[in-house]
Amino acid sequence: MLLGENEAQTRVSLIDPLLRALGWSPDDPDQVRVEVRVAEPITSSTTTAGDR
């Protein structure tokens, strides 16, 4: 893993800032959902298309 074995730290340090830079709000469940089962395997994060 990029930041060691800590998935939560990877999200805080890398994924959330990237989502914000792209105009998404990781804190808004209407925009970003965490640990969503869409198929096997479980995805860590998903975004919703909405008006984007």
Query: For residue 29, what are the contacts with CB-CB under 8 A and spacing of at least 6?
Result: none
Cβ–Cβ under 8 Å, residues 24 and 34: no
The pLDDT value recorded for residue 28 is 92
Cβ–Cβ under 8 Å, residues 26 and 32: yes
pTM over cut 0.75: no
pLDDT in tens, 16-43: 999 999 999 999 988 988 777 666 665 5
The pLDDT value recorded for residue 38 is 67
Cβ–Cβ under 8 Å, residues 46 and 33: yes
Report the candidate in 7, 35, 34, 2 with the shortest Cα–Cα distance to residue 26. 34
Q: Kindly tell me if the per-residue pLDDT of 1 is higher than 90.
A: no
